[in-house]
């Protein structure tokens, strides 16, 4: 069984998905774009199910400036390479940024910069798996699934850019 709920945040409404054990997704509404998570036929709206209440609380604390680290079980589901990149993303400290090249180096594959960028863009648990902390080699803000304004806001919230 999977569950979902929506929570309001300073960067817009967020969709949280999870099962009885772990958070499986955190998605931002992106106006003008179709797609988003596909909720299975067994998905039920239930803000009190599984880890969803803890996720909503920790996100509220993060947005209030009272939390820098999340302590939630995460179920990252992708290819082995994607999961490797996503785990590396969790190592980027609050208030810091890495370039795509640094991220590729971190996973031991310095030539995989483009593949790292693609995996970063498919991160299913944004904010908690902080893909917003990845920037261009020249320090520029590059693409972000939630939009560059949100990326800019998240980095400023963490004391950057």
Provide the pLDDT for residue 101.
96
- Domain spans of the chain, in order of start: 2-63, 80-157
Say which DSSP state 93 is in.
P
Please tell me the CATH code under which domain 80-157 is placed. 1.10.10.10
Pick from 125, 151, 119, 123: nearest CA to 26: 125
Whole-prediction pTM: 0.90
Provide the pLDDT for residue 117.
95
According to CATH, the topology of domain 2-63 is Double Stranded RNA Binding Domain (3.30.160)
Distance CA 69, CA 57 (A): 13
Taking each helix axis from N to C end, the angle separating 113-121 and 80-89, rounded to the nearest 10 degrees, works out to 80
- Annotated catalytic residues are 131
SS3 at position 32? coil
Condensed to tens digits (0 to 9), the pLDDT of residues 65-118 reads: 999 999 999 999 999 999 999 999 999 999 999 999 999 999 999 999 999 999
Common-topology check for domains 2-63 and 80-157: no
Residue 69, class by beta-carbon neighbours within 10 Å (0-12 exposed, 13-18 middle, 19+ buried)?
exposed
Condensed to tens digits (0 to 9), the pLDDT of residues 3-16 reads: 999 999 999 999 99
Condensed to tens digits (0 to 9), the pLDDT of residues 30-57 reads: 655 545 566 777 788 888 889 999 999 9
Provide the pLDDT for residue 43.
81
């Amino acid at each position: 069984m999977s569950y979902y709920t929506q929570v309001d945040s300073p960067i817009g409404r967020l969709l949280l998905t999870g099962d009885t054990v772990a958070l499986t997704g955190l998605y931002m509404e992106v106006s003008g774009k179709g797609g988003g998570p596909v909720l299975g036929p067994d998905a039920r709206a239930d803000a009190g199910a599984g880890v969803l209440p803890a996720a909503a609380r920790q996100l509220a604390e993060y947005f209030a400036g009272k939390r820098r680290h999340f302590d939630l079980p995460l179920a990252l589901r992708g290819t082995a390479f994607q999961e490797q990149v996503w785990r590396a993303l969790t190592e980027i400290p609050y208030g810091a940024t890495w370039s795509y090249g640094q991220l590729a180096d971190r996973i031991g594959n310095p030539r995989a910069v483009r593949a790292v960028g693609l995996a970063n863009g498919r991160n299913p648990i944004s904010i908690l798996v902080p893909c917003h902390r990845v920037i261009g080699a020249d320090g520029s803000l590059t693409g972000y699934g939630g939009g560059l304004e949100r990326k800019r806001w998240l980095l400023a919230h963490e004391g950057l850019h």
